[in-house]
Structure 1
Amino acid sequence: MSRQQAHKEQALVKMLRYVLGVAPAEFGLLPDEAGWVSVKELLAALHQEEGWRHLRQGMLADAANRLAPELIELADNRLRCAQRSYPPPDYEAQPPAHLYLGARRKAWPVMHKRGLEAGPGGRPWLLAADPDRALSLGRRRDPEPMLVTVQAQPAAEQGAAFAAWGEYFLCEWAPAACLMGPPVEEAPPAKKPVAKAPPAKEAGPALPPPGTLPGSFILTAEDVEKPYKRKGISKDIAWKRERRKGRKRG
């Protein structure tokens, strides 16, 4: 192994030790109670750091399985450091008047109606005191996040709790009335579908004018009422026919 490769591997272990064991809040990460951080969140955070955009999931697995298995643990697509020294959240800290969240575009209409709600397992939201920092966190989930402002004091008066986490604040719930963000366009009521008329049948070939086909003739009203008056048709009367037969027998 070259010195350059050995140096890169040592730097990776050192970085993971610092991010997962010393200062996860500095990178906008919130480990669970057992210290675990999802691989996806860890990669998203480190990809925003200069010099670590090349980091891949396989390199994290190599750090846990080969480079420092006694220090870095990997299980169920989560990583943690066996030696952790970061402080717990501070629920005594007072938040500033305004906190900020970089929300996903699809999530903001829901927040606008229901407010902030804890994620799976009661996971709190990570709010920043600086709009740019909030948008930087939001870009990990959406390339164009929406900036949402949380009015901390009115929210606290309605029961919201805030805990300092490094330069961030944790919040599990905040009422919708205390959130400010871009206007939400309400979708117009759905229109009933209009039944389409069946397509018109294509007309067949045009017939030639009457009397133009060979052997055809035009039938008139006189032909219908007195057909025997037509030229070449004799009137056949029953009593005349019997009289002719009698003459022949006589």
Structure 2
Amino acid sequence: MDLQLTNKLALVTGSTSGIGRGIAETLLKEGAEVIINGRTEERVQGVVEELSTLGTVHGIAGDLAKEDDSNKLIEKVNNIGSLDILINNMGMFEVKAFTDVSDEEWMTYFQINVLSAIRLSRHFLPDMLSRDSGRILNIASEAGVKPLTQMLPYSVTKSSMISLSRGLAEMTQGTNVTVNSVLPGPTWTDGVASFMEGAAAEENKDLENFTRDYFKDNEPTSLIQRFARVEEVASTVAFLASPLSSAINGSAQRVEGGIIRSV
């Protein structure tokens, strides 16, 4: 299927690894022009070089938890061209008891997981509306609907991303601009590998056995009983970024293998 993304300009935040990198790669394969973003110039340029054989790739380094870095990125994106697709993927998570999370750490979560998306959407959405064309995808999580007690700051901020997406979508009524959130479930990335190490330690279990029994013990409602693959999440995002998905707006698209037990 041709997703009609040829020559569309896409920005994927937090795209030097994990799901973000997978999204960038999939969009490139579909013909889009992609801007890679990460905190360090070295990491960004490394991914740009790795993906350059797939199409036109740009790299903009910056810590989008910081307002100044966000403004600099916006300026550089505008110098490249009019943005057609904004993928707010940047985020953080950590396994930590709720009572051990400080006010400062809570604010860090909001800066990284929520305000980074707000700042970019606040700038790029009006231009998309003026052109009557564009896509904003906010990468949330199944934890935004089914909070994880061992990762409450992450869960709360992902709930915020789902709400933000629906609110922004209301502003697009009657246009060809759409805003949706995507809710991955457990997806095997380097970050999840670190999470598994932390979760196993929390339960005083051997990592190999904990990983083997993870879904049986921790996610019994999962219908697929396995970790999703990065490309499965990325292909969903690519479709929602496509002109073919124009009738999907304001949705919270689940890619979590049926963990959320509801119709």
Do Structure 1 and Structure 2 share a fold, with TM-score over 0.5?
A: no
Mark the structure with the bigger radius of gyration.
1
* Band the TM-score falls in, shorter-chain normalisation: under 0.3
TM-score by length of 2: 0.26
Structure ranking higher on relative contact order (CA contacts 8 Å, 6+ apart): 2
TM-score by length of 1: 0.27
Q: Which has the higher helix share?
A: 2
